[in-house]
Amino acid sequence: MKGPYSLRRLLWAGPLATLAALAANSIYFIITKAFGEQYRIPLDTTGAHVSPMPPLMFILPTGLAGLAASVFFGLLIRFSRLPGVVFLSVAIAAFILSLGGPSSLPNTSLKTELLLSGMNLLTALLLTGGILLLSHRR
């Protein structure tokens, strides 16, 4: 019996959702920088010295999250009876855990922490929604 999700559709849905998340985060980063946010975060292990965050620090994790989510959902489609429910549950848990990253940065302003958390939310919504909606059989 075929389930409601298609591995064939996931092959293009995963990369498309990842590209959407990368584009949205890049636009978000550019707009918030235009409004004056410097994204000053510690780039060394001591946390004493803060400097502007390079774009690669959100591009690489977003791309890796998209790849991991696509592979994980592909495995769920193949081996789970309820892949959508399991994927959504894990995605929500991963999003909640991802909020710990920005909030644990030493010597970082609350505004920067909140804006970085906004990036996490944008990534979670676009990756999860994109993968679930686009890989669904019509």
Domain that holds residue 63: 7-134
In a domain, 130, yes or no: yes
Q: Say what the pLDDT of residue 45 is.
A: 72
Q: What's the token pair of residue 127?
A: 């990756």
In a domain, 38, yes or no: yes
Q: State the total domains in the chain.
A: 1
Q: Is 49 exposed, middle or buried (0-12, 13-18, 19+ CB in 10 A)?
A: exposed
Tens digits of residue pLDDT in 104-134: 888 888 999 999 999 999 999 999 999 999 9
What gap in Å lies between CA 129 and CA 69, rounded to an integer? 11
Give the CA count within 13 Å in the CB-facing half-sphere of 9.
14
In a domain, 89, yes or no: yes
In a domain, 80, yes or no: yes
In a domain, 49, yes or no: yes
Q: Say what the pLDDT of residue 43 is.
A: 81
Given a cut of 70, whether residue 27 has pLDDT beyond it is yes
In a domain, 1, yes or no: no
Q: Say what the pLDDT of residue 2 is.
A: 72
In a domain, 12, yes or no: yes
